[in-house]
């Protein structure tokens, strides 16, 4: 039962931080709306939440976005505390997750292979 609660809390944190990013409530210039929260891992004692951030833009853009989010972690945690009904809001740690970028690269490679096969079949 506790694992289900932790998973739900992680999903709620993911949704709330995503909304803060999209709505532009985080005023740090490094945080842009192309950042995506891929997953949130909450510790069993609910004191820490590791937030994994991904973007389809460049690695440098992702790194600066994660730095901006880490600098705004206090503001984000304060916003979460006001929106959620829990006794203690987990402290946030932001990490890079290259998952979306790697997915785009994989699709690009598959498309290149398919176009090569189409050319070979046409010949």
Give domain status of residue 121, yes or no.
no
Q: Give the model's pLDDT for residue 118.
A: 66
If phi > 0 it is left, if psi is from -120 to 50 it is alpha, else beta; for residue 120 that is alpha
CATH number, position 22: 3.30.300.20
Give domain status of residue 80, yes or no.
yes
Does this model's pTM top 0.85? My answer is no
Q: Give the model's pLDDT for residue 1.
A: 47
Domain count, the chain: 1
Instruction: Confirm if 61 and 34 have CB atoms less than 8 A apart.
Output: yes
């Amino acid at each position: 039962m506790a694992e289900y609660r932790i998973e739900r809390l992680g999903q709620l944190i993911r949704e709330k931080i995503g909304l803060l990013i999209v709505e532009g409530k985080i005023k740090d210039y490094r945080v842009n709306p192309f950042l995506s929260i891929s997953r949130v891992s909450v510790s069993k004692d609910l004191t820490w939440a590791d937030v994994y951030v991904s973007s389809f833009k460049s690695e440098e853009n992702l790194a600066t976005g994660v730095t901006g989010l880490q600098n705004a972690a206090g503001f984000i945690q304060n916003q979460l505390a006001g929106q959620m009904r829990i006794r203690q809001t987990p402290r946030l740690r932001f990490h890079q997750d290259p998952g979306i970028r790697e997915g785009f690269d994989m699709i690009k490679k598959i498309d290149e292979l398919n176009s090569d096969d189409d050319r070979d079949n046409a010949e």
